[in-house]
Structure 1
């Protein structure tokens, strides 16, 4: 895993956002090209996301809904040059952990369903992403239980 690297002649320390590196990020999807949050506003977006997440987790009634929302807004912000998916799943696990659930776990064989669920959440339907998070959690628990046998 790359935690710090050189980009051309410049060293990029871990944790520097795209506001510092000034990289614009696009992703190709089956429906076209998606442009992520412009680098000039990444830090202010992260601040707004953190404030909203704190408010949502304070009086949370559905940790899966909060995790789905947090996952979506962080993924769409895409604040770093590398590691956004891992960081997004880690941070989106916080509401689940606060509610006593395990963290988000998405296996490789869930990857297609996971990406489709993220796209559906972007279009307003968070049910598939919440189900994907739940299914991944259930599968991870089963794998751990299998280790005991």
Structure 2
């Protein structure tokens, strides 16, 4: 009875394969990086930076991290990267430069069905229609000139 043995590739072939895949799959060190991220705490593989938030209340942990890493930091919660602006000046600057990005809402199929095509003021996509709705809302409903008449008691 013949026994089949598993033959592993020789060491030089294995080393060539590892070096080749590392060079092909990894980005070139000569190419400049396009993306720069703000500083932030260290990350663990699956949970990200959540281990920094566990020992104390979240707002206190974020305050402590902001003192260490600055007013704008990158915190990874699980697999999601979050940019945290911890000062008023930083938040104002971000909203002035990227206001349209933050004003848009996610496209969900449920809001198209439940909210009549997302045509209300809370879920309408950012654009001229949304601006017109907000203008009407503030001038008609929240105007200081508008007085309510109460019925005599």
In which range does the TM-score fall when normalised by the shorter chain? under 0.3
Structure with the bigger RCO (C-alpha within 8 Å, sep 6+) is 1
More helix by share: 1
State the TM-score, normalizing by the size of structure 2.
0.27
Structure with greater Cα Rg: 2
